[in-house]
Amino acid sequence: MSRGPCKYFLQGVCRNGASCPWSHDVDGMDEAAMRFDPAFEASFAGVSLGDQPAIDGPSTTPLSATGVPAPIDGQALNNGQRAFAVDCEFIQVRQGKGLDAREFSVTVSVGIVSEMLETILYARVRMPARCQVWDDAFARTVGALQPDWALGIRVDIACALVREFVDDGHILVGWQIEQDLRGLKLEDILTNTPREQIVDLSDEFKTTQGNKCQLSEAYREIFGRTGSAHDAIGDAKMTMELYNWWRTHSMQPTPLRLCWYYVKWHSWRPVEAGLGAHAGLDEYEAYRWKVLRPERSDRSTCIEELDDALRKEFVLKFRTDSERVAYFNLVKRRLCALHRCEAPAVRALETMSRCDFASITGDMYDLFR
């Protein structure tokens, strides 16, 4: 059963033909009334004229055949206006010598995606001349970029493309987009462009307590799956998928029910046998490195140092309980690898409850709740 008259069929531009869910039978209908009736316009856009409850459930965005949220038709944007998601990857460099040396971030890759999820640009960006690389660990390990930072296009080429989009009246979308625009040396766009043309989704997807979160966390909460992005173009596509979802859900701030799962290590002592000093570290540092450290420390795992003078206390925070359970299993495997050494009695302090991570003599180590 058709849901109502098709506005684009009346305008002669509907591309769906017989598969269109909207009615193409306009006999006896007042065409002008259908085109300009506010209730019809709102229903086509997927919003209501009345107050809407906060979005607090699974996504209702239609999926394509591949399971990816269906892109928005470019014609659905107002007056030919398009939307482009921008994301950049950075490294830290140092320039100058002695007291005149300064450290700053430079862009090493840029990704731009349209509202149709089409890749417009994905390129390496060359590092400025006469700079010394200070920290490129994230770009190398997570972004999988080869550390030849003199390779790529000049940053002004990417700048010119983004500026052209803005000058043509299109929408720029990003996650913490201010950082990306500053990395492209486009700070003036932040102050000279109408606010409705710059959409920072990190301001639209926050926790229920109003705190900001990571792009991957918002993506997982909305779509119920983990995004696989590890580079600028992947992050740009995830950002655009969130923008398409947000645009079809009344364009209102969306609270996310996110929480941290804590592990607080304290009152522990190193194992005497089978460990020893490691790479110049003392016994406590060596124990943390070889036993207590997480397998990986990425955007979804946060480590908060709460060390005293003896460096015997720190906190790990995980976004999901399954990640924390996997971490406990990792620690147990490492303890087992110490060949039946006397393991320390360690306590993990969780939110609103306490559990003892007790080591049992032998090869089995259990977590008691």
pLDDT tens digit at each of 369 positions of the chain: 446 677 655 555 565 666 677 776 644 444 443 333 333 333 333 333 223 333 334 444 444 444 455 555 544 555 689 999 999 999 999 988 888 888 999 999 999 999 999 999 999 999 988 888 988 888 887 778 888 888 999 999 999 999 999 999 999 999 999 999 999 999 999 999 999 999 999 999 999 888 889 898 899 999 988 877 778 999 999 999 999 999 998 788 999 988 888 887 766 655 554 455 454 556 667 777 777 788 765 556 677 666 554 556 777 888 778 888 888 888 877 777 765 544 444 444 444 344 444 433 333 333 333
Tokens of 110: 């840029």
- In this structure, the chain runs to a length of 369
Phi, psi of 6 (to 5 degrees): -85, 115
For residue 151, give Cα distances in angstroms to 88, 108, 147, 235, 313. Answer: 16, 9, 9, 21, 43
Residue 86 neighbours by CB distance under 10 Å: 29
Classify 74-256 by CATH class.
alpha beta
For the chain, which residues make up each domain, given as ranges?
Answer: 7-45, 74-256, 261-368
Given a contact cutoff of 8 angstroms between Cβ atoms, the answer to whether 113 and 236 are in contact is yes
Whether the model clears a pTM of 0.85, i.e. scores above it, the answer is no
| Rounded Cα–Cα distance for residues 57 and 51 (Å) | 17
Residue from 176, 171, 273 nearest 215 by CA: 176
User: For residue 356, what pLDDT is reported?
Assistant: 41
